[in-house]
């Protein structure tokens, strides 16, 4: 688990460096629209931009890690979710993408709240699925 976290941390830092160097990266934030763009797949399930799924999943993982850190510090997150151990990052990627496609109100804003809402609506704590 520690090795996986180290690999994810290195991947996130590397991607941050790559995105920082890209000319189109005007602001230090992912908007909902940008996250949807890098999380998107074509009709065959292939990523629409080479390597984009790594950035997408790294961003989502960062949101999840931050949420888990708050919980471990006994700081109750305002929006809580509980992802089962059996759920893969690929499955979460799909759930977040579907949420973004259905909720265009997040397009112009920082993507983190959209990711939180997607996770909350798909993985509520205490069992039952929330209705949207």
Domains detected in the chain = 27-122 (1.10.890.40)
- The whole-number pLDDT of residue 127 equals 60
In tens, the pLDDT along 26-47 reads 556 789 999 999 999 888 888 8
Over the stretch 45-99, which tens digit does the pLDDT of each residue have?
A: 888 888 899 999 999 999 999 999 999 999 877 889 999 999 999 999 999 999 9
**What pLDDT score does 86 carry?**
96
For 1, counting Cβ atoms within 10 Å of its Cβ (0-12 exposed, 13-18 middle, 19+ buried), the class is exposed
Per-residue model confidence (pLDDT) at position 12: 52
74-94 in b/e burial notation, b at 16+ Cβ within 10 A? Answer: eeeeeebbebeeeeebeebbe
Structure token pair of residue 128: 């039952």
- The answer to whether 93 and 60 have CB atoms below 8 angstroms apart is yes
Rounded Cα distance, 92 and 53, in Å: 12
Q: What is the mean pLDDT of residues 2-21?
A: 50
Q: What is the pTM of this model?
A: 0.73
């Amino acid at each position: 688990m520690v090795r996986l976290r180290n690999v994810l941390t290195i991947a996130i830092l590397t991607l941050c460096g790559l995105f920082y160097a890209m000319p189109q990266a005007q602001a230090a934030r992912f908007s909902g629209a940008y996250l949807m763009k890098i999380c998107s797949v074509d009709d065959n399930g292939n990523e629409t931009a080479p390597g984009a799924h790594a950035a997408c999943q790294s961003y989502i993982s960062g949101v999840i890690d931050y949420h888990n850190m708050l919980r471990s510090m006994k700081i109750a997150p305002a929006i809580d979710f509980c992802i089962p151990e059996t759920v893969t990052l690929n499955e979460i990627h799909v759930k977040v993408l579907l949420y973004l496609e259905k909720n265009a109100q997040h397009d112009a804003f920082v993507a983190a709240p959209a990711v939180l809402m997607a996770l909350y609506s798909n993985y509520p704590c205490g069992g039952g699925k929330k209705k949207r």
